[in-house]
Amino acid sequence: MIVEFFFALLPFLIVLLTNLRQSYEGSGLAGTVSYNLLVAIGMTTIQVLIVAISFVAWYLPVYLIQRDKILLRRSSLFEDKVIAEIQQISGLEVLQGALGRRLDYGTLVINSADAEENAYIKDVPNPASYARQIEDLIEPERGVHATPEPRPVGELIAAGEGQYVEFKSSLMWDYRRQVVNKALYEPVMKNIVGFMNSSGGALLIGVDDDGAILGLEADYHVMRKPDSDGFENVFNMAFNKMIGVEYRRFVDVAFPEIEGKQVCAVSVRPATWPAYLRAKGSEAFYVRAGNASQPLTVSQAARYIQDKFND
C-alpha cells in the first residue's frame, strides 16, 4: 500500500518540485492549451503508465520449481497451477531462436510420462539453468553429479536423442557434400564436452538424427587405416587437440554392431573439473540442456562452474 500511495502521489510531487509553470509560459503551448489542462493530461498519462506497468508485473507468470512439482503462478487472483510432477518428467528440451540465443532467452519444453501433452516454461532468461535445476531434482541418481545407467546401444537408438543421448552421422565424412570434412569434428567434440560438464551421456557415431543406422563405412573408406582401430586413432587425435588428453579418461569408445553395421558408441562420464571446446582459435564452455549442447557466456559459465565443480 505504501508503494502504491507513493506512485499515486508521484505526479503531484513532480509538479511541485519542478518549475513547470515557468517552462510552460516560455513555450508555445501557453497560447493553445491551459496550464491546468496540460498538468491534468500529464498526470493522467503518468498514472496510466504506472497502473499498466504494475498490472503487467502483477499478471506476468512466475514459474516455481519445487521439490516435487513445477508450479505456474499468474497472480493472487488465480490458483497456482501444477504444470509437471518432478518424478514424472521424462525429458527436457531448450528452445531458443537466433535472437533468443543472443539474449539468452527461451522456452523449456517438459515431457512427462503421465501427460499426453508437453508442459512449457515459456520465455524465461537462461532456460538451460531451469533445466539443470529440474535435473537436480529428478531422483538423486539422475542429478547433475551422477552418471546415467548404461543401456544397450539398440535401446538408446530406439529411444532417440535426448538429455543423455546424441546421434552423429559420421566423424569426418560429409554426407551432404560427399567429401571429407574435418569441420565435422567440432559438433562431435562439442557434445562430448556438453556431456562431461553435465551428467554424462552417450554419443553414437554412424547414426543419423532420425535414428537410421548408417554405420562407419563412409568414414572407414577415407581413413588411412580403414577399421575401428584407425577410426579410434582419428577420434583420439581430434579429441586431444580440441578437448585435451587429460579428459580422455572420462570417455570410453566401443564399436558395437547394429543391424549388420558397425557404429561408434562414445560413453561419456561427468568430468571432475570443467571441460572446454577449443576450436577456431577460442575456447567455449558447453552444457547439456535437453537434446542439445548449449554454450554458456563467460558469466553463466562462472556461475555454473561455481555451483557444479566447487561444492
Q: What is the pLDDT of residues 154-193, one digit of tens each?
A: 889 998 999 899 999 999 999 999 999 999 999 999 999 9
Residues 55 and 82 in one domain: no
Task: Name 167's bridge partners.
Answer: 204
pTM greater than the 0.95 cutoff:
no
Of 127, 289, 109, 266, the residue nearest 197 (C-alpha): 289
Residues 34 and 80 in one domain: no
Q: Is residue 18 predicted with pLDDT exceeding 90?
A: no
CA distance 178 to 180: 7
Model pLDDT, residue 65: 86
Q: What range does the domain containing 23 cover?
A: 2-59
In this structure, of 9-18, 31-40, 165-174, 280-289, the range with the lowest mean pLDDT score is: 9-18
Q: Is residue 19 predicted with pLDDT exceeding 80?
A: no
Q: In residues, how long is the chain? A: 311
Q: Label the pairing between strands 165-168 and 201-205.
A: parallel
Residues 250 and 169 in one domain: yes
Q: Is residue 1 predicted with pLDDT exceeding 50?
A: no
Q: Per residue in 44-100, pLDDT tens?
A: 887 777 777 666 555 567 888 888 889 888 766 678 888 898 878 877 788 877 777
Residues 54 and 98 in one domain: no
Domain count, the chain: 3
CA angle 196, 201, 203 (to 5 degrees): 100
DSSP secondary-structure letter at 213?
B
Residues 126 and 146 in one domain: no
Please provide the average confidence, as pLDDT, over all residues in the chain: 83
The three three-digit cell numbers of residue 256, written as one number:
558395437
Residues 266 and 302 in one domain: yes
